């Protein structure tokens, strides 16, 4: 610990780096502009490296300062998050979901959640990382997987992993649905991190003649690209049910892939009856049941 720079200097550097302006950083910290500038100078002196270039109208990172700030900002964010988990917030319900589930199912259904659970202060942690109930302070989690999940958890299956091929109506306007072998082979295809098109086409004994296609890191991005007519995407049926009902997407072939890992809702066992967490758990379960 003796080798760490002073905390005040790191706080001043963090704030100045976010604003690239000593005055704005001082306003945030509730100190004078001179105090922030002095703390940053002292930090630079201790490190033996310049972190900012001083400009007439503000600051600019040096290359060293930019990389150092990214690490320092992350450390402060972790400290803030750790502190938040210690504060009692009886109405808070923190749910961990994947970014795609958040964007394409949960957020569109939030008005219904608010009406059904008015006392719950729902907070969404959208991450691909598997969150911990104790380490991350989450109350609920929606994840793909398969049982068993552990005796300490209450688990229900929300949705089967039924993968279907969809596209914007404009993309297939000149075709007859369902697409025949030749048309599906040549249709532009969108690929996400799951890369399911090879398995889908193999089931149909179809060779892909559409080229490499656009590749995206998340299913939500593939869905957005499909909605804009850039190609056909393979997605879970429940994620596109709303878009299909509103005619923004159409299923282009009746074939479906059934995965081994379905979508489950997880919570710690025996939450307090009548609590916001229990109400949120019940809402997820009933909403999914109604859709299925």
pLDDT surpasses 80 at 115: yes
Give the whole-angstrom CA distance, residue 292 versus residue 238.
8
pLDDT of residue 54: 94
Give the whole-angstrom CA distance, residue 6 versus residue 43.
8
CA distances from 47 to 10, 19, 67, 68 (A): 11, 21, 14, 11
Continuous segment of H or E residues that includes residue 73: helix 63-84
For the chain, the 3-state helix, strand and coil shares in percent, each to the nearest 5, are 40, 20, 35
pLDDT surpasses 90 at 89: no
pLDDT of residue 185: 95
pLDDT tens-digit series, residues 154-176 = 999 999 999 999 999 999 998 99
Continuous segment of H or E residues that includes residue 243: helix 237-245
Give the whole-angstrom CA distance, residue 95 versus residue 277.
9
pLDDT of residue 2: 59
pLDDT of residue 84: 73
CA distances from 170 to 101, 239, 263 (A): 25, 20, 31
Give me 192's structure tokens. 């996400």
Q: Residue range 244-257: average pLDDT?
A: 96
Residue in the block written with tokens 């704030």: 15
pLDDT of residue 1: 47
Res. 111 pLDDT band, cuts 50 70 90: very high
Buried b vs exposed e over 122-136: b needs ≥16 C-beta within 10 Å? bebbbeeeebebeeb
Q: Is 124 helix (H, G, I), strand (E, B) or coil?
A: strand
- CA 248 to the chain's CA centroid: 23
Is the whole-model pTM more than 0.85?
Answer: no
Count the helices and strands in the chain (H runs, E runs).
11, 13
Give the whole-angstrom CA distance, residue 40 versus residue 22.
9
pLDDT surpasses 90 at 65: yes
Q: Residue range 16-24: average pLDDT?
A: 93
CA 221, 227, 233: angle at the middle one, nearest 5? 60
pLDDT surpasses 50 at 94: yes
CA distances from 69 to 14, 20, 59, 77 (A): 6, 11, 13, 12
pLDDT surpasses 80 at 272: no
Q: Which domains does the chain have, with CATH numbers?
A: 7-84 (1.10.10.10), 92-154+263-291 (3.40.190.10), 162-258 (3.40.190.10)
Q: Residue range 198-214: average pLDDT?
A: 92
Q: What is the residue-averaged pLDDT of the chain?
A: 91
């Amino acid at each position: 610990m003796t080798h760490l720079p002073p905390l005040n200097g790191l706080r001043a550097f963090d704030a100045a780096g976010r604003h690239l302006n000593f005055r704005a950083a001082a306003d945030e910290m509730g100190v004078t502009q001179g105090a922030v500038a002095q703390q940053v100078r002292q930090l630079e002196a201790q490190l033996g490296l310049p972190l900012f270039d001083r400009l007439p109208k503000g600051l600019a990172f040096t290359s060293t300062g930019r990389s150092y700030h990214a690490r320092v900002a992350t450390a402060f964010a972790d400290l803030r998050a750790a502190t938040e988990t210690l504060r009692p917030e009886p109405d808070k319900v923190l749910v961990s979901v994947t970014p795609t589930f958040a964007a394409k199912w949960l957020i569109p259904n939030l008005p219904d959640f608010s009406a059904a659970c008015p006392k719950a202060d729902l907070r969404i942690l959208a991450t691909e990382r598997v969150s911990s109930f104790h380490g991350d302070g989450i109350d609920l989690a929606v994840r793909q997987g398969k049982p068993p999940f552990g005796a300490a958890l209450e688990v229900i299956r929300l949705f089967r992993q039924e993968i279907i091929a969809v596209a914007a109506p404009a993309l297939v306007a000149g075709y007859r649905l369902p697409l025949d072998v030749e048309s599906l082979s040549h249709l532009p295809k969108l690929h996400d991190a799951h890369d399911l098109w090879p398995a889908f086409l193999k089931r149909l004994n179809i060779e892909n003649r559409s080229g490499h296609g656009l590749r995206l890191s998340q299913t939500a991005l593939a869905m957005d690209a499909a909605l804009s007519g850039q190609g056909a995407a393979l997605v879970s049926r429940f994620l596109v049910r709303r878009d299909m009902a509103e005619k923004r997407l159409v299923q282009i072939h009746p074939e479906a892939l059934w995965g081994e890992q379905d979508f489950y809702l997880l919570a710690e066992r025996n939450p307090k009856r009548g609590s916001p967490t229990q109400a949120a758990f019940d809402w997820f379960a009933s909403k999914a049941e109604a859709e299925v």
